Amino acid sequence: MSIMFDTLGYSKYLQSVGISQPEADKFAFMARDYVSEGPLTKQELDELLPLEDELLTKEALAELFDAHVNRLTVKIGIVFLLGLVGFAVAMVYL
């Protein structure tokens, strides 16, 4: 699963609260890099999926689900933190 991040919109928002365009662009690209992830690689897929002769038990499935939930929680936290930083920067410039 990949998350789409609107770098142009975020940059324009930062500019609208008084941050210079180069700085706003840097913040937007930094946020995109932290939030977006590329496609799943074969190595990552091999680590997530069991061997062909193994059955996926409820416990194993729950463990995989928990791992994905934890990754998503971290990403949501990063998005929140970037928004908070953007707000703090806006408050300094206003």
Q: Residue 50 is encoded by which pair of tokens?
A: 């069991």
Mean pLDDT, rounded, for 3-28: 82
Q: Give 43-89 pLDDT, tens digit per residue.
A: 766 666 655 555 566 677 778 778 888 888 888 888 888 889 889 88
- Taking every pair of Cα atoms in the chain, the longest distance, rounded to a whole number of angstroms, is 62
Please state the pTM of the whole predicted model. 0.39
Q: Is the Cβ–Cβ distance between 3 and 36 less than 8 Å?
A: yes
Q: Is the Cβ–Cβ distance between 37 and 3 less than 8 Å?
A: yes
Q: Domain segments of the chain: what residues? A: 7-93
CA 64 to chain centre: 19
End-to-end CA distance of the chain: 37
